[in-house]
Chains A and B, each alone.
Chain A
C-alpha cells in the first residue's frame, strides 16, 4: 500500500520529511509513528495508517513533499480486508431468505418489455464516474517559477484550457504580489562561489531553517513594515510578581513569569485596537474576531510559535499555566498542529536574550508583532525627582498598509498603560 502525505491542516500545502522512525523491513502496527514531518506550521509524527511491513521509503529525509505525495510503501493485507468490507451487500444465502424473502437491492426491477436482471456494481459505478475531475498537472515552466518565487499554486486561478495554470498566470500573480524588496536581494552566493572558497564553510540547511528562511523572506518581501518603540515603567509589575512568586509556586506548582502579565495587556489592547489583529488583502482588511496570540519560543531546532487561542478569555494565572504547557511542548517538539495554527498576533520576549531594543519581522500574514525587551533599573524623572525604576521597552513592527503610526501607537500606549497600572491590587485569577 502506497502511503501518501496526508493533508494536515488548512493552508499547509507541503511538508519536509524529517527523521524516519522506521526502517525498511520493520514490522509496523497501525498508528505506529512512521516518520517526522515538518510543515511551516508544526513538526509532527505521522502515524502509520495500516499494519504491515515497511517495504520502501519513497521520500527521503529532507525532501519536500506536496500533501498527497507518496512517501512510503507498506506491505499489508489490510487492503484485502477493506475490499471485503466494501462489498455493497453481503452474499444472501437461501437460509437467510426464508419464506418472507428479501429485497434484492442490486437488481433492477422488471422493465416494460420484461427485461431486467442483476446489474453489476461496475455498471452502476461507471454512471457516476464518467468524467473524473482532471488531475492538476503543472508545466515545467509553472513549477519552476512557483519554486523560485515560493508560490503556492493553489492560490492561482488558471486561465488556460480547462483552467490550467499557465506560465503567464504565475507571472501575473508574482507581479501582483510583489510590493517591496527585489527577489535578487534574497539570493545568496551561488554554490560554485561557496564551494571554491577555502576560507569559509557551508552549513547545510535543516528543514526548520528552510521554513524559517522562507517565512522571513515572505515577511520582508510582502509587508511594508514600520517600527516604533515605547519605554514602559514596569516597577509595579516587577514587585507584584515578587510578591506572589512564592505563593503561586506553592499553589500552582509553576513559576510565574512576566509573560502572562504582558499577554494579558496585549490581549486587552488588541480588543481595543482591532486593526492590530487583522490581515491585509487586496480586497480589504480582514479583522480577526478571535484574539490568538502567538508566542515566539526558542526551541532546540529553531524558532517556533505556539498560539494561545482566545487569549483574552484567560486570567493571568490561566495564561501562566497555558504558557507553561506550550513552552515545554515546544522545547520537546511535541506541539500539535492546532497549537501552532491560527495566530493573529505575535509576541516575542527578546528581553530574555538581553536585548533592550529589537526590530522584529511581522509574522506574515498577521498585521503586527510586538517584543518585550530586558527589564533594567534606570534613573528616571518621576514627579520632578530622580527615581530608580524598572524600565522595559516594548517594540512594535506593523504592516503599514493596514494602519498608520497613529493606530499603532494607540495600541502601544494601551499596552504601556495597562502594564504600568499593575500593582498589588491587580487580580491574577
Chain B
C-alpha cells in the first residue's frame, strides 16, 4: 500500500471520482490555474479542462448557490470553500436551502453536492484561518458532516460523499494535510458515512473524538499506557449522522468517557454525544462523561502562546485521562 498525506488522499479521491463520473465537477477560488490554495486540485485543470474545473469569484454565497442549483439539475458538484472561516455566507444556501431540498419537494428533487472546506487551528492562522465550523452544520437535519482524520479515511469518505445523493459538508483539518501520513490501498475502496472507527482498542477509558484530535488522543493514549491506563480511541469520522452504536458500545465497555474536540466545547458535537450517552448508556457509566473542548473564547488568538492555550493537545488530554482514571 502507498503511504500518502491527507492532502494527497483528497486529491486522489477527487481525481478518481472525476474520472469515473462525468457529472462530477469542481468549483472554487483559485482551484484552477493555482491548483487550489493547498494544491488539492493541482493538475486538475489540465486533465479535466475549464468546464469541470471552475475558478470562481470571491463570493462564497454564489459558490454554494451555483453548486446547489447544479446538483438539483443532475450534476455532482464539489464546491471548495478556500478556508472554512469564509463559509458563513453559504449558510443561507446550505442550511436554508440545500438541507431542505429533498424534504421540501417531497423527494422529487435532491442535492448531491459536496461542500469541501479546510478548517481548524494550530497553524498560526489566528481569527480568520483557524475556525472549526462542524457544529453549526451538524445541527441541521438534511446535511451530512464529515470530519476525517487520516489519509485512508479522507479518501474513502470523500468518495462516499461525492457519491452521496444529498448535501455533504466535508471538513478537512488543515493541520492534518501534510502532517498526517498513512497507508492507502492501491485498489478502489469507499468508507460508508455515519460509521465511526475504533482507532485504538482499550479497556479503562473511552475517548470519543474526530479530526485532528484523533492523533493527539492516540498520542495521549500511548502515554497513558505507560501508567497502565488502557484507553480506547473512537474516531467518529462523521459527526452527522453520529454512529450511535459504536458510541454506546465503547461506553458500555469502559464506563468512563472523555470526548475531545477542538471546536468550542459548549453546545458542540461533544455535548450531543454526551447527551446520547447519558440517555442510552446511563447504567453503564462509572464516572461523569467529560468533555475536553475549545474554550469560551470567540476566536483563535494570534499570539502563539495564547493559541497553544486555546488548542487541545496531547498533554491536556493526558491530564484529563488521568483524572478520569482516578475517579
Name the one of B204, B286, B326 contacting A142, with C-beta atoms under 8 angstroms: B286
**Smallest Cβ-Cβ distance to A143: which chain B residue:** B283
Question: How far is B327's CA from A161's CA once the two chains are assembled, in angstroms?
Answer: 5
Interchain CB contact under 8 A, A167 and B255 = yes
How many B residues, CB 8 Å from partner? 11
Given A144-B284, A166-B286, A167-B286: A139 in contact with B255 (beta carbons within 8 A):
yes
**Smallest Cβ-Cβ distance to A159: which chain B residue:** B326
Interchain CB contact under 8 A, B204 and A139 = no
Question: How far is B287's CA from A142's CA once the two chains are assembled, in angstroms?
Answer: 10
Question: How far is B256's CA from A168's CA once the two chains are assembled, in angstroms?
Answer: 11
Return chain A residues, CB-CB under 8 Å to B326.
Answer: 160-161
Which residue numbers of A lie inside 8 Å of B, CB to CB?
139-144, 160-161, 164, 166-168
A-B contacts besides A141-B284, A141-B285, A144-B284, 6 pairs, CB < 8 Å: A139-B255, A139-B285, A144-B283, A160-B326, A161-B326, A168-B286
Instruction: Verify if B38 is at the interface (C-beta below 8 Å from A).
Output: no
**Smallest Cβ-Cβ distance to B203: which chain A residue:** A168
Which residue numbers of B lie inside 8 Å of A, CB to CB?
204, 255-256, 282-287, 326-327
Interchain CB contact under 8 A, B204 and A141 = no
Return chain A residues, CB-CB under 8 Å to B284.
Answer: 140-141, 144
Question: How far is B286's CA from A141's CA once the two chains are assembled, in angstroms?
Answer: 5
Name the one of A143, A161, A168 contacting B204, with C-beta atoms under 8 angstroms: A168
Interchain CB contact under 8 A, A140 and B282 = yes
Interchain CB contact under 8 A, A141 and B327 = no
> What does DSSP make chain B's interface, helix, strand, loop or mixed?
loop
Q: Which of A143, A164, A167 has the most CB of B within 10 A?
A: A167
19 contacts between A and B (CB under 8 A): A139-B285, A139-B286, A140-B282, A140-B283, A140-B284, A140-B286, A141-B283, A141-B286, A142-B286, A143-B283, A144-B283, A160-B326, A160-B327, A161-B327, A166-B286, A166-B327, A167-B255, A167-B256, A168-B204
- Smallest Cβ distance from A138 to chain B, in angstroms? 9
Return chain B residues, CB-CB under 8 Å to A168.
Answer: 204, 286
Return chain A residues, CB-CB under 8 Å to B256.
Answer: 167
Question: How far is B255's CA from A166's CA once the two chains are assembled, in angstroms?
Answer: 9
**Smallest Cβ-Cβ distance to A147: which chain B residue:** B283
- Smallest Cβ distance from A164 to chain B, in angstroms? 7
Return chain B residues, CB-CB under 8 Å to A164.
Answer: 327
Question: How far is B285's CA from A142's CA once the two chains are assembled, in angstroms?
Answer: 8
**Smallest Cβ-Cβ distance to A142: which chain B residue:** B286
In the A-B complex, the 4 residue pairs with the closest CB atoms: A167-B286, A141-B286, A141-B255, A167-B255
- Smallest Cβ distance from B228 to chain A, in angstroms? 11
**Smallest Cβ-Cβ distance to B278: which chain A residue:** A140
Question: How far is B283's CA from A168's CA once the two chains are assembled, in angstroms?
Answer: 15
- Smallest Cβ distance from A26 to chain B, in angstroms? 37
**Smallest Cβ-Cβ distance to A139: which chain B residue:** B286
Return chain B residues, CB-CB under 8 Å to A160.
Answer: 326-327
Question: How far is B256's CA from A144's CA once the two chains are assembled, in angstroms?
Answer: 15
- Smallest Cβ distance from A328 to chain B, in angstroms? 45
Return chain B residues, CB-CB under 8 Å to A161.
Answer: 326-327
- Smallest Cβ distance from B278 to chain A, in angstroms? 10
- Smallest Cβ distance from A396 to chain B, in angstroms? 43
**Smallest Cβ-Cβ distance to B204: which chain A residue:** A168
**Smallest Cβ-Cβ distance to B285: which chain A residue:** A140
Question: How far is B255's CA from A334's CA once the two chains are assembled, in angstroms?
Answer: 45
Question: How far is B284's CA from A172's CA once the two chains are assembled, in angstroms?
Answer: 16
Question: How far is B327's CA from A164's CA once the two chains are assembled, in angstroms?
Answer: 7
- Smallest Cβ distance from A257 to chain B, in angstroms? 51
- Smallest Cβ distance from B11 to chain A, in angstroms? 45
Question: How far is B204's CA from A143's CA once the two chains are assembled, in angstroms?
Answer: 18
Question: How far is B282's CA from A168's CA once the two chains are assembled, in angstroms?
Answer: 17
Return chain A residues, CB-CB under 8 Å to B283.
Answer: 140-141, 143-144
Return chain B residues, CB-CB under 8 Å to A143.
Answer: 283
Question: How far is B287's CA from A167's CA once the two chains are assembled, in angstroms?
Answer: 9
Question: How far is B281's CA from A144's CA once the two chains are assembled, in angstroms?
Answer: 11
Question: How far is B326's CA from A140's CA once the two chains are assembled, in angstroms?
Answer: 17
Return chain A residues, CB-CB under 8 Å to B285.
Answer: 139-141
Return chain A residues, CB-CB under 8 Å to B287.
Answer: 139
Return chain A residues, CB-CB under 8 Å to B282.
Answer: 140
**Smallest Cβ-Cβ distance to A170: which chain B residue:** B286
- Smallest Cβ distance from B257 to chain A, in angstroms? 11
Question: How far is B284's CA from A144's CA once the two chains are assembled, in angstroms?
Answer: 7
- Smallest Cβ distance from B274 to chain A, in angstroms? 15
Return chain B residues, CB-CB under 8 Å to A142.
Answer: 286
- Smallest Cβ distance from A100 to chain B, in angstroms? 62
- Smallest Cβ distance from A142 to chain B, in angstroms? 6
Question: How far is B282's CA from A47's CA once the two chains are assembled, in angstroms?
Answer: 37
Question: How far is B326's CA from A55's CA once the two chains are assembled, in angstroms?
Answer: 43
**Smallest Cβ-Cβ distance to A167: which chain B residue:** B286
Return chain B residues, CB-CB under 8 Å to A141.
Answer: 255, 283-286
